Each structure stands twice: as C-alpha cells, then as structure tokens.
Structure 1
Amino acid sequence: MTSHRGQVVGYVRVSAADQNEARQLEALGEVDRLFSEKVSGKNTSDREQLKEMMAYVREGDTVRVKSPDRLARSTTDLLSLVEQLRSKRVAVEFVDNPALNTDTPQGEFMLTILAAVAQLERATIRERQAEGIAIAKRNGVYDRAPKLTPEQIAEARQRADSGVPKARVARDLGVSRQTLYAALSGTGKYAELAGASS
C-alpha cells in the first residue's frame, strides 16, 4: 500500500430538529477522519466543521456524505462546494445518491445539469425582480413623486442651518434621513426639483 492512498473523510451534519447522527454514521461506514456538525446549516459560514474539513482534505482524498442535503442547503451551495473540492482533486461520494458522485461520468453529467438548473434559477429570479420593478414603475408605485415639496425643503434647510439635528428634521417631516439628505443636496429625485426651483 503506497503512502499516497487518499483518505476517506466523512462529513455529518445534524440539524437542531434531528439530533440523531447515528443513521448518517452508519451510512458512511468506516472513514479515516470524521467531521461532525450540529447546526441547521442555513449559512455555510456558520459551519465550522465544514470549513475545517475543506481545509483538511488533500488531493486524492474522498469526502463521503450521506446525502447532498447534509453537505449543502441549496443547489448553488452544493455546486460551489463540489467545485472547490474538485479543484483540490478531491472526490465527493454521496452514499444515498451515487448518481452524483464526482468520480463517475454520470456524476459529472448530473452536476453539469444541476449547474444549469441553478443558473436558470438565478436568471429567473433576476427576471422576476426586473419585471416586478417594471410593473411597479408602470403603476407609479416604484417611482413615486418626491416626498418633500420645495417649500418643505426650504424649511428643512433653514432648520438644519439653525442647528436642528437632521434626524429630527427628517422625523418631523415624516421621511427617512436618506430622503432628507437627498432633498437638501438636490440628488436623486430631488435633482429635477433643484433644477426647476433654481
């Protein structure tokens, strides 16, 4: 046996709702090194063990996980992790979903499909947001008229110049501080007003 034999590195994650890691451990079988996490895992950044495992694995190793949802919480997250591992020449093995194992042609194919799906998902979300904004603008919701009249702005400027805190001026006028600053500096929606009133 050569010393270059890669290690099998197990990763287990149990959520707060399911504290029982025995099933996952049983599924993984024997591993050289185990990383075990008890977090809901919504954010990859909260998962210390995952970070440690990513730093630990070396070329030739195999990361073994019971199922993709133990490793990642979204398709995008999964692809990003798999990509990072592949760039280190580390294989990923899913006990419950062997079709996704990265060291098989089927796995490569499935991951390519998943990447396309994730990309489509992101594009669709962006398109929906853009459509939503366009509809809102058409309905006059998004591009509301400036909240402050030229008279109010003049009064606000006077009060601010006389030392009244801008936060208080904004509160009295019922607008956010950003709105007040924009009005006083003649930027954003207030640029046209500034041009019109001068």
Structure 2
Amino acid sequence: MNQQQDQLATLHEIRNIMDRSSRFISLSGLSGISAGLTALAGAAVVQWYLGEHNIAYRGNADMPLHQEAILFLLTVSLAVLVVALGLASFFTIRRARRNKQRIWDGKSQCLLVNLAIPLAAGGIFCAVLLYHSILYLVAPAMLVFYGLALINGSKYTFSDIRYLGICELVLGLLSSFFVSYGLLSWTIGFGVLHIVYGALLYFKYER
C-alpha cells in the first residue's frame, strides 16, 4: 500500500515538473490585484466626468457623447491600460527574480502571442464600433475579447486564468444584452474580478 502511494506521489511530482516546464508560472497575483484597483480608479474618474457634464450612461445609440467626451474616455482607458501593464510587469518580474526564473523565454513568448491575437482583434473591433458611433457595445466587446484572450493564453500559464476568462466572457455577453449596465459591467469585469482572481492566485501560489 505504501509503495503504491509512493508511486502515485512520484507520478504527481513528475506531472508538476512537466507542467511547470511548459507553463509561465511567474505571473503574480499582485498583478491582478493592482490591475483591478487601477480599473476601479479609472471607472471612478469616468463616473465623475459623466456626472460633471450631466451625461447619463443610458447605453443606447443616442448616448450624447461629443468628440471631447470620447477623447477623454479613450485617454482614461489608455492610462488605465498603461498603469495596469506597468504594475503587472513590475510584480511579475519581481516574483520571477525571487524564484530565480527567466522572465523572457519560449513560455512567456507563447503566452504573450496567444494573449495578443484576441486583444488586437478586439482593439480593432472596438475602433470600428467607435467609427460607426456604436458606443454602447464598446464596453461589452472589451470584456468579450479580453475573456477570449485569457482563455486562449491560459494553456501557457496558470489554469486558473481560464476561469477568469470565462467569467469575463459571460459578463461581456450579458452586458451586450443589457447595454445600460455597460459601465457597471466593465467596472466589475476589469476591477472586481481582477482583484478577486489576483487574491486567490496570491494565496494559492505565493503564500
């Protein structure tokens, strides 16, 4: 009986080693938490701006957004993206150095490529929506393509990311039906879900 248990333990250890060798495991849970907090801050700024200019996010084709408002929203979105990516890179590089792991290798390259393809397609699609003034579908589209990117890249890092991607995808699809909740869905998807996922990842793999 003990011999059988030892064999199972050995097989489990071999599987873990093989899994680590084929996946990028330096991703830090703090990256998710920082990205979520950054998204919440960005959503708060957008909400403040809409309130200051008496703009109601009604989620319909007649939402009164002028070029100045659209430019402001794009600026906030870009700022959130840059800050979130910067913090994510900082925490991930720090964890990789602590674990004496390489940050740039075949695994990280495969992860970035598989993330980048759906994200690039989503960015272009959102630009098309803005071009045709279909503003109420931009937030749902961002969630959908981001979820697809996470699902696509999950096979090269922690499998837990797949569940985050599924949640983002489902939330985006739901908000495409209930478009008046687009901003709220964006806040939950990029803010709350990131914080929850990051905390779970941190306590599961880094404590």
* TM-score interval, normalised by the smaller of the two chains: under 0.3
- Structure of larger gyration radius: 1
More helix by share: 2
> Counting strand residues as a fraction of each chain, which structure ranks higher?
1
The TM-score with structure 2 as length reference comes to 0.24
TM-score by length of 1: 0.25
Q: Which has the higher contact order (CA 8 A, sep 6+)?
A: 2
